[in-house]
């Protein structure tokens, strides 16, 4: 896959935002974001968990197509919590991942876990959306943002009560790390080519600040890999496709966690 998927997605995201802003103005959204609500700390949940699994609700991907087209958040997110997930990741991109903002709205009152809004965030409008729909944390992707823009979005997220997971893939993105970041995610999938290798997490872990909470994202399908990543300093493990491609994602997660926490 030679074309740059990330650039294509970001361009489409900017188009979507223009449409959304004509439907609900930034002023209306900011007003809605002043409503009081409770928050759950994703960082705290991962730090105290013996497994650290961030279970992802994901209907499709650009590289694999539909994984589970009819998946319902009210069923799968509840099953994930019952199975022992430490946090939830819910994709809200519709064109490339089959998600919607409604997926978080539906899940929020049904679960007590922290929810990460998994999205290609390029505008603070999306941060206000995240707060209004009930997310607790947002993803900022270094490869999709300028460094100063990333810092400004992280600052705004904190103003709104949202935690920030910064996603890195290359060494040259380490300069994006700043005090505004709550967690650092290492994406094992190249967002330009969608080539995946968990070795990326092991390789970059040695170059990251020891005090940061580290999350390994994508390409994880073996409990032993999670054990090895924990030894390398990771405390969060974002896994979606491995569970979503099964007929019972909750049961798949439960068995996965049992293998992680079982005595070696």
187 is catalytic: yes
Say yes or no to pLDDT of 192 above 70. Answer: no
Give residue 194's pLDDT.
66
> Is the predicted pLDDT of residue 257 greater than 60, yes or no?
yes
- Asked whether 97 and 91 are in contact (CB, 8 A), the reply is yes
- Res. 4 pLDDT band, cuts 50 70 90: confident
| Polymer length of the chain | 264
- Label residue 1 by pLDDT band (50, 70, 90): very low
Mean pLDDT within 43-71:
95
Binned at pLDDT 50, 70 and 90, residue 264 comes out as confident
Q: Of all helices (H) and strands (E), which one includes residue 254?
A: helix 249-261
- To the query of whether residue 16 is one of the catalytic residues in this protein, the response is no
pTM score, whole prediction: 0.95
Closest CA relative to residue 125, chosen from 24, 23, 26, 35: 26
56 a catalytic residue: yes
Q: How far apart are CA 230 and CA 212, in angstroms?
A: 14
Checking if the pLDDT of 2 tops 50, the result is: no
CA–CA distance, 34 with 138 (Å, rounded to integer): 18
- Active-site residue, selected from the candidate residues 45, 58, 81, 86: 58
What residue has token string 């709550």? 182
| Rounded CA separation 238/56 (Å) | 7
Say whether 58 is catalytic: yes
Q: Would residue 218 show up in a list of annotated catalytic residues for this protein?
A: yes
- Structure tokens, 237: 């493990």
CA distance to 215, 227, 239, per residue, from 207 (Å): 14, 20, 23
Select which of 51, 118, 173, 190 is catalytic.
118
> What average pLDDT does this structure show over 233-244?
96
Task: Quote the domain boundaries for residue 40.
Answer: 5-261
Average pLDDT, the chain: 95
Catalytic status, residue 216: no
Query: In this predicted structure, what is the pLDDT of residue 191?
Result: 65
Virtual torsion, Cα 210, 216, 222, 226, nearest 10 deg = 20
Position 36 pLDDT exceeds 90: yes
Domain count for the chain: 1
- Determine the pLDDT at residue 3: 52
Instruction: Assign residue 223 the CATH number of its domain.
Output: 3.20.20.70
**Position of tokens 């009152």?**
109
Active-site residue, from 81, 119, 163, 167: 167
The verdict on whether 167 is a catalytic residue reads yes
Of the listed 49, 51, 56, 216, which one is catalytic? 56
Pair 141, 191: CB distance under 8 Å:
yes
Task: Choose the catalytic residue: 49, 89, 187, 201.
Answer: 187
pLDDT at 161 over 90: yes
The answer to whether 200 touches 60, Cβ cutoff 8 Å, is no
Question: Cα 219 to chain center, whole Å?
Answer: 14
pLDDT of residue 189 exceeding 90, the answer is no
Whether the predicted pLDDT of 244 surpasses 80: yes
């Amino acid at each position: 896959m030679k074309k740059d998927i990330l650039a294509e997605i970001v361009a489409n995201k900017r188009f979507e935002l223009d449409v959304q802003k004509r439907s609900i103005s930034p002023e209306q959204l900011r007003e809605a974001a002043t409503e009081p609500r409770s928050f759950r700390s994703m960082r705290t949940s991962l730090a105290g968990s013996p497994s650290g699994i961030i279970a992802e609700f994901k209907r499709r991907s650009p590289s694999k197509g539909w994984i589970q087209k009819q998946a319902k958040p009210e069923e799968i997110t509840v099953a994930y919590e019952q199975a022992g997930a430490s946090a939830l990741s819910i994709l809200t991109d519709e064109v490339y991942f089959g998600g919607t903002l409604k997926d978080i709205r539906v899940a929020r009152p049904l679960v007590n876990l922290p929810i990460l809004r998994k999205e290609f965030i390029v505008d603070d409008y999306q941060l206000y959306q995240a707060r209004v729909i009930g997310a607790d944390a947002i993803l900022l992707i270094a490869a999709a943002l300028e460094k100063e823009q990333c810092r400004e979005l992280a600052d705004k997220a904190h103003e709104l009560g949202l935690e920030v997971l910064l996603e890195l893939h290359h060494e040259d993105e380490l300069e994006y790390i700043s005090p505004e970041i709550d967690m650092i995610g290492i994406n094992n999938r190249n967002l330009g080519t969608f080539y995946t290798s968990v070795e990326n997490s092991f390789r970059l872990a040695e170059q990251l600040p020891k005090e940061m909470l580290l999350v390994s994202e994508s390409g994880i399908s073996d409990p032993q890999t999670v054990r090895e990543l924990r030894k390398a300093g990771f405390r969060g493990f974002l896994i979606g496709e491995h569970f979503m491609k099964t007929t019972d994602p909750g049961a798949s997660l439960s068995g996965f966690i049992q293998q992680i926490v079982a005595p070696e």
